[in-house]
């Protein structure tokens, strides 16, 4: 069932767990995320991102096609879900996303000067809130470990974060506290004192992008410091690619093309990639929701 973004995050904060945004890129990956959430009976944020998409394709109708796919999947879900259009680059794309059925949006503005970030984000909030759509924004910026972008990042200032949330009215704030985009080797080094200071200063739910490289042993501490949502993308694409590569390598001679591509049967190499994604999403959901379950169990024992 499609539920408001604010409701999903409020429930996470109240329950002492983090909800995952597992970024999809096609129908196989989107189905993998929802199937994992339904198997765990867990809420989830479904959606697609704009940053990694080919601009000509995305602006040439791709955004609307992804929206239609996401909306159909979200409305049929048996668990609470929100549908996020993540990190698009223009205000026009935000508007198109809202019209396409996304009930949460995020405009990528973290690289802008503070005043311009506030101006554009406030504009997004005005348009989105008028039709009941949630808004996430980012203050500070994450370093990028892919080597494709020359970005060393900028840590979020707690006082600036409090002012930003008050001036814009955003529903969730993504923060930079040592987390890293596209970190595939090793773990990010988190500035826990900074995250704690942001939590004290900001009433809105906090979000961590760059979840692939976030230290798993620190997730309980992050949740205790106001993190209600964690974004995962890189590790899912890697799992999907590895699953497909192994499936292709194992194909027998004379294999049926109809069976091995797009059939949704066991021989479908894309289906085997999907299964890898589903397994990773299940693992992450258990990691992030078990924190809340343990707290509830302690409360009952006390």
pLDDT at 150: 45
CATH of the domain at 172: 3.20.20.70
Tell me whether residue 241 is in a domain: no
pLDDT at 254: 84
Regions in the chain scoring below 70 on pLDDT: 145-152, 182-186, 291-302
Tell me whether residue 265 is in a domain: no
pLDDT at 177: 93
Owning domain of residue 129: 5-234
Where helices occur in 251-268 by DSSP H, the ranges are: 257-260
* Distant-in-sequence, close-in-space partners of 115: CB < 8 Å, separation ≥ 6: none
Tell me whether residue 257 is in a domain: no
Bridge partners (DSSP) of residue 81 are 2, 44
Tell me whether residue 301 is in a domain: no
Tell me whether residue 40 is in a domain: yes
Tell me whether residue 266 is in a domain: no
pLDDT at 253: 87
Tell me whether residue 255 is in a domain: no
Which two tokens mark 88?
């698009």
Torsion of CA 20, 143, 106, 71, to 10 degrees: -40
pLDDT at 299: 47
Cα-Cα-Cα-Cα dihedral sign, residues 257, 260, 262, 266: positive
* CA distance to 157, 220, 231, per residue, from 195 (Å): 10, 13, 16
Tell me whether residue 68 is in a domain: yes
Total domains in the fold of the chain: 1
Per-residue pLDDT tens over the stretch 18-44: 999 999 999 999 999 999 999 999 999
């Amino acid at each position: 069932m499609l539920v408001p973004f604010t409701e999903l995050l409020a429930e996470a904060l109240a329950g002492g767990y983090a909800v995952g945004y597992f970024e999809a890129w096609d129908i196989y990956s989107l189905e993998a995320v929802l199937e994992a959430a339904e198997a765990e009976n867990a809420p989830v944020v479904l959606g697609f991102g704009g940053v990694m998409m080919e601009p000509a394709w995305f602006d040439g109708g791709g955004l609307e096609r992804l929206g239609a796919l996401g909306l159909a999947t979200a409305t049929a879900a048996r668990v609470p879900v929100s549908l996020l259009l993540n990190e698009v680059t223009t205000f026009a794309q935000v508007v198109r996303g809202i019209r396409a059925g996304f009930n949460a949006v995020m405009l990528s503005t973290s690289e802008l000067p503070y005043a311009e970030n506030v101006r554009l984000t406030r504009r997004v909030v005005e348009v989105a809130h008028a039709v009941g759509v949630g808004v996430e924004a980012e203050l500070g910026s994450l370093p990028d470990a892919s080597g494709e972008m020359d970005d060393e990042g900028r840590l979020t200032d707690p006082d600036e974060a409090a002012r930003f949330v008050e001036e814009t009215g955003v529903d969730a704030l993504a923060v930079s506290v040592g987390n890293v985009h596209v970190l595939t080797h090793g773990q990010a080094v988190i500035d826990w004192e900074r995250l704690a200071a942001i939590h004290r200063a900001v009433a809105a739910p906090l979000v961590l992008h760059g979840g692939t490289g976030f230290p798993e042993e620190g997730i309980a501490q992050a949740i205790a410091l106001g993190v209600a949502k964690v974004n995962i993308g890189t590790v899912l694409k890697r799992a999907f690619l590895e699953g497909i590569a192994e499936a292709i390598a194992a194909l027998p001679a004379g294999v049926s093309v109809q069976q091995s591509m797009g059939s949704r049967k066991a021989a479908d190499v894309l289906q085997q990639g999907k299964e890898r994604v589903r397994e990773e999403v299940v693992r992450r959901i258990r990691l992030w929701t078990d924190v809340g379950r343990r707290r509830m169990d302690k409360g009952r024992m006390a």
